[in-house]
Amino acid sequence: MIISLDMSSDTPIYVQLRNQIVKGIGKGELKAGESLPSVRQMAQDAGINSMTVNKTYQILKAEGFIEIDRRKGATVCPVRQGEGAFREKLEAELELLSAEACLKGMHKDEFLRICEEMFKTMHPAESEG
């Protein structure tokens, strides 16, 4: 999978990297059980420091998206059932995006069309087998 980072963004690199990996898993480019590059490898590929990569991996581990095994390195976890916490976060973010869309003159139909379009690019792990 291709990682693209914007060094001049005000979003921290470790967050950008975390988001790219989450999207990668969501889109099925990284499947459950598959290995991520080692910390050092990813650091070299992305041209960043290995501690930054390490921080990203630790966050993904804490979020339950990956496992870190002393022997095999980092691997993608199977899907976890959503906790209530995520639902609240999702609603809060969508509320803000809705407000912004509305202020930009976007109508509900178009907004929902984009929502659907974006979700369609994801590949739920259940339908793998």
> In the complex, which residues of this chain contact DNA (CB under 7 A)?
10, 12-15, 38-41, 48-52, 54-55, 57-58, 68, 70-71, 73-74
CB of 36 to a second copy, least distance (A): 14
What is the chain's alpha carbon radius of gyration, rounded to the nearest angstrom? Answer: 17
Q: Is 31 in the site for a second copy (CB under 8 A)?
A: no
Q: Is 111 in the site for a second copy (CB under 8 A)?
A: yes
The rounded distance, in Å, linking the Cα atoms of 85 and 75 is 24
Chain center to CA of 94: 17
Q: What are the φ and ψ backbone dihedral angles of 10, each rounded to 5 degrees?
A: -90, 0
The rounded distance, in Å, linking the Cα atoms of 21 and 7 is 17
CB of 44 to DNA, least distance (A): 10
CB of 41 to a second copy, least distance (A): 20
Q: Which of 71, 64, 39, 42 is nearest to 54 (CA)?
A: 39
The rounded distance, in Å, linking the Cα atoms of 42 and 20 is 13
Among 1, 12, 35, 41, binds a second copy (CB under 8 A): 12
Phi-psi region of 28 (alpha: psi -120 to 50; beta: other; left: phi over 0): left
Q: Is 30 in the site for a second copy (CB under 8 A)?
A: no
Among 22, 38, 50, 73, binds a second copy (CB under 8 A): 22
Contact set with a second copy (CB under 8 A): 7-8, 12-13, 19, 22-23, 25-27, 65, 67-72, 79-83, 86-87, 90-91, 93-108, 111-112, 114-116, 118-126
